[in-house]
Amino acid sequence: MGRPQARWRHRLIVLNRPDKLNAVTREMTLGLLETLDSADREDGIRAIVITGAGRAFCAGADLSGSAPFFDATDDRDCEFDPDADRDLGGVVTLRILECRKPVIAAINGAAVGFGATLVLPSDARFCSEESKFAYPFTRRGIVPDGAASWFLPRVVGMDTALDWCLSGRAISSEEALEKGLVLTRRLLWTQSMSNTPMSAHMEESRLLKTRSRSSDAREGVESFLQKRAPDFQDRVPEMHPDLMPSQS
């Protein structure tokens, strides 16, 4: 008689706003962190699986809620607080990286923005044939979140990461399987030389805070909600923040 097969117990985490294509709110992100912590503490859990309810995995940040992610006030001199202003997407991806249990992303549909960066630190990624990916941050007038400037080039290579981030185009499941604007370009290149994703997370957080208060970010959100092409007015280099001195 052969050896009995081990029973694998897993914790299933479901992004559950199917009517909003699982677009994430701050409350959902904090709940995701709490569930990851709980699963990591429970000895009987051998793996963590993250998926989405309904026909989408995650459509990114909810830009239509009453508490918007972007406060477009044109205050480009706002001071970055490394404790209070950390990008929650990066907090989540770094937490996934630190998990003691294998994390599996079961991508059942569209994965956009936060949804596309969320899967990068996973130990395995499985997607349906209907899945689509997109990193549309430049189309919103901001930079990638989730420490993607560190993770993405290491997952798919720099050429593909630049293509996907600079274009913001939709990526089919076939292309995703095959592959295994200025700020974004410099961010990806500088963070590719960093040994850990923490520096990418902190730099993204700083740039996200700065850019989220720009007129381009406001235009990016409004054009998305109005289903039209954005008309960005900011110009390089006058209206773009510098990278941190250590990264330039």
Strands (E), 53-107: 56-58, 103-107
Reference 132, options 156, 157, 115, 153; nearest CA is 115
The contacts of residue 63 (CB under 8 Å, 6+ apart) are 23, 69, 70, 221, 224, 225
Q: Tell me the CATH number at 48.
A: 3.90.226.10
Give the Cα separation of 217 and 3 in Å (integer).
58
Q: CB-based contacts of 180: which residues, under 8 Å, 6+ apart?
A: 155, 156
Residue 237 lies in a domain: no
Query: Is residue 81 in some structural domain?
Result: yes
Instruction: List, for residues 209-225, the tens digit of each pLDDT value.
Output: 777 767 777 777 777 77
Give the pTM. 0.74
In a domain, 76, yes or no: yes
Kindly state whether residue 86 falls inside one of the protein's structural domains: yes
pLDDT in tens, 103-134: 999 999 999 999 999 999 998 898 888 899 99
Range with the lowest mean pLDDT among 4-18, 44-58, 85-99, 208-222? 208-222
Residue 242 has a pLDDT of 55
- Better-scored residue on pLDDT, 144 or 73: 144
Q: Which domain holds residue 61?
A: 10-224
What percentage of the chain reaches a pLDDT higher than 70? 79
- Write phi, then psi, for 109 (nearest 5 degrees): 180, -150
* Most confident region among 1-5, 71-75, 229-233, 239-243 by mean pLDDT: 229-233
User: Which pLDDT does position 199 carry in this prediction?
Assistant: 83
**pLDDT, tens only, 155-211:** 888 999 999 999 999 999 999 888 874 455 566 767 777 888 888 888 878 887 777
pLDDT at residue 76 in the model: 47
pLDDT score for 1: 40
- Give the confidence band of 59 by pLDDT, cuts at 50, 70, 90: very high
The predicted structure's pLDDT at residue 230: 76
Inside any domain, residue 229:
no
Q: How many domains does the chain have?
A: 1
Please indicate, yes or no, if residue 241 is contained in any of the structural domains. no
What secondary structure letter does DSSP report for 88?
H
| Sheet (strand 56-58) strand order | 56-58, 110-112, 132-134, 171-172
